[in-house]
Amino acid sequence: MFTAIFGSFEAGIIYAIMALGVYLSFRILDFPDLTVDGSFVTGGAIAAIMITNGANPFLATVMALLAGFIAGCMTGILHTFGKINNLLSGILMMIALYSINLRIMGRSNIPLLNTETSFTKIGDLFESSGIDSFFNNLLAMVGLGDSLPETWGILFFMLIVTFLIKFLTDWFLQTEIGLAIRATGDNKRMIRSFSANTNLLTVIGLGLSNALVAFSGALIAQQGGFADVGMGIGMIIIGLASVIIGEALFGTKTIARTTLAVIGGAIIYRIVVSLALRFDFLEPGDMKLITAIIVILALTTPKMIERSKEKKRKARRKAEQLHFLQASVERKGENHAAVKSDS
């Protein structure tokens, strides 16, 4: 149980970067960008092929980020300069990326076991410095010693990286360019009348979004030990689920709060899925269905709750009105009676 939760926490914090990317496109730019399914794999593919060819894994991860940026920009160019519908531009790019990803990898799956990745490097560092054994001893002391995680390195390293990206995003969205990007998603006509090139801003925004997605894909490939051409299927929905769950649970008062919520949402999503898969009648293949159901529930329940609240409010108001009417009728009756008795 502990290893399962630890594992989903570890994966969640990596997927959180992808979720932040989806937040940028879906919420900030108001652009349902399906490129994500492809660019996530592009990130994994570039990292895997470079690492297996002996490149520095950190360099490979950065290259994956750049590739994602280019893919996102392409979608933006299709939409703004090509004047193609936003959903369709994303789908077109996703399909195109499938072939491109196969070309990058040369085959449909590249295993990364027994190769040196960013995480094996970090793991070695943690092991040699004794941090791993320190935390494991701590766990053993509280009685969880029988299911120890392999390394604490990935978790701590990713916490730092993800929060660094969160703070960078928060900062960026408060800059002059960031404000203009937010306004592009909020009211295009308005920001255009304040001399902002909304086309360029859309392209940049989508580029940044997919850069984060590909970065996350590269890290997931290294954490999971393989890159697969199908690893991105449904990624946009997972990202969306993380954004929606996070927003619902942690709130959206400010940008900083919302990005934190998205990270929380990504982690909670992973934990929910791993717990759900512990039921015997569910198979790993059911994960996408579970995700779809989570998103559907998250999208519909707040509205249903709101509606039932509204109904109750109406019923109460009606009751109050009725009560008031009755009271006034009674009062009238009394007055009437009083008049009568006077006469």
Site of interaction with other proteins (CB under 8 A):
172, 174-180, 182-183, 186-187, 189-198
- Please identify, using beta-carbon distances, which residue of 86 and 198 lies nearer to other proteins: 198
Shortest spacing between CB 185 and other proteins, in angstroms: 8
Tell me how far apart the alpha carbons of residues 267 and 264 are, in angstroms, rounded to a whole number.
5
Tell me how far apart the alpha carbons of residues 228 and 15 are, in angstroms, rounded to a whole number.
16
- Please identify, using beta-carbon distances, which residue of 79 and 182 lies nearer to other proteins: 182
- Please identify, using beta-carbon distances, which residue of 121 and 257 lies nearer to other proteins: 257
- Please identify, using beta-carbon distances, which residue of 189 and 303 lies nearer to other proteins: 189
Shortest spacing between CB 338 and other proteins, in angstroms: 44
Q: Which of 131, 122, 171 is nearest to 14 (CA)?
A: 122
Shortest spacing between CB 231 and other proteins, in angstroms: 33
Tell me how far apart the alpha carbons of residues 183 and 52 are, in angstroms, rounded to a whole number.
43
Q: Which of 245, 280, 291, 252 is nearest to 266 (CA)?
A: 245
* 246 in Cβ contact with 256 (< 8 Å): no
Q: Which of 263, 221, 5, 271 is nearest to 120 (CA)?
A: 221
- Please identify, using beta-carbon distances, which residue of 46 and 181 lies nearer to other proteins: 181
Shortest spacing between CB 182 and other proteins, in angstroms: 6
Rg (CA), the chain: 26
Shortest spacing between CB 244 and other proteins, in angstroms: 17
The residues, ordered by sequence, that sit 6+ positions from 70 with a Cβ below 8 Å of its Cβ are 207
* 67 in Cβ contact with 42 (< 8 Å): yes
Shortest spacing between CB 167 and other proteins, in angstroms: 14
- Please identify, using beta-carbon distances, which residue of 175 and 335 lies nearer to other proteins: 175
- Please identify, using beta-carbon distances, which residue of 254 and 326 lies nearer to other proteins: 254
Shortest spacing between CB 199 and other proteins, in angstroms: 9
Shortest spacing between CB 178 and other proteins, in angstroms: 7
| Residue 263 DSSP SS3 | helix
Structure tokens at 251: 């709130």
Q: Which of 2, 1, 6, 11 is nearest to 287 (CA)?
A: 11
- Please identify, using beta-carbon distances, which residue of 171 and 324 lies nearer to other proteins: 171
Q: Which of 285, 54, 86, 288 is nearest to 203 (CA)?
A: 86
| Residue 219 DSSP SS3 | helix
Tell me how far apart the alpha carbons of residues 144 and 65 are, in angstroms, rounded to a whole number.
37
